[in-house]
Structure 1
Amino acid sequence: MIGRVLDGRYRVGPRIARGGMATVYEATDLRLDRVCALKVMHAGLGDDDEFAARFVREAHSAARLSHPHVVAVFDQGDDNGTLFLAMEYIPGHTLRDLIRKEAPMAPAKALAVLDPVLSALAAAHQAGMIHRDVKPENVLLADDGRVKVADFGLARAISAETQHTATGGVLIGTVSYLSPELVVDGRADARSDVYAAGVVLYEMLTGRKPHEGESPIQVAYKHVHEDVPPPSQVVRGLPAYVDALVARATARDRELRPADARVLLHQVRRVRAALDEHLADDPELTADLTPAGPVSRSLDDIDYVTDEDPSTGSGPRVPTILTPAQASHGGRTDDTSVFGARPVPAPRQPGAARPASRPAARPVPAPRRSRRGPLLLTLVLLLALGAGVGGWWFGAGRYVNTPGVINLSAAEARTKVQAAGLTFRVGDRAYSETVPAGSVISTDPGGGDNVLRDGTVTAVVSQGPERHEVPALRGTDLDSAQAALQDAGLGFGDATYRFSEKVAKGVVLAADPKPGTELKRDAAVDLVVSKGPQPVKVRDYTGEDADAATKALEKRGFEVDRGTEENSDSVAKGDVITQNPSSGTLFKGDKVELVVSKGPVLVEVPKVEGMGTAAATQTLLGLGFEVKTEKTQYYVGLEYVVNQGPTAGDKAPKGSTVTIYIV
Structure 2
Amino acid sequence: METTLLDPVVGLVLEKRYRVERRLARGGMSTVYEGTDLRLDRRVAIKVMTEALASDPSFVASFNREARSAARLSHLNVVSVSDQGEDDGFVFLVMELVRGQTLREVIHENGRLSPEQAFAVLAPTLSGLSAAHRTGLIHRDVKPENILLSRDGVVKVADFGLARAVAGTGTTSVTSGVLLGTVAYLAPEQIERGNADARSDVYAAGIVLYEMLTGKPPYAGDSALSVAYQHVNNDVPLPSSKVPGIPVAIDELVSSATRRDPAARPLDAGAFLAELFDVSTDLAMTRVTVPVRYRESPPPANPGSAPHPRNDHRGPAAPDGTRAARTHRTAVLGTAGGRASDEATLSPGSVADGGGDRRPTTGRPGEVGQRSADQRSPGAQAPARRRQRTGRIVLALVLVLAAIAGGVGWWYGSGRYTVAPDVVGFAEASAVETLQEAGLDPIIEEVFSESVADDMVISADPEAGAEIMRGSTVNLQVSKGPERFVVDEALLGLAEADVVTALADLPIAVVRAEGFHETVPFGAVFGFDPAAGTELRRDQQLTMLVSVGPEPRAIPDVAGTTLEEAQAALVALGFVVEVREDFNRDVAVGIALGTEPAPDAGPQPFGTTIVLVISKGPDLVAVPDVMGKDQDTAIAELQAAGFVADTTSFLGNRVCQQSPPAGELAERGSTVSLLLSFC
Question: If the TM-score is normalised by the length of the shorter chain, which range does it land in?
Answer: 0.3 to 0.5
- TM-score (structure 1 length as normaliser): 0.40
Q: Which has the higher strand share?
A: 1
Report which of the two structures shows the higher radius of gyration computed on alpha carbons.
2
- TM-score (structure 2 length as normaliser): 0.39
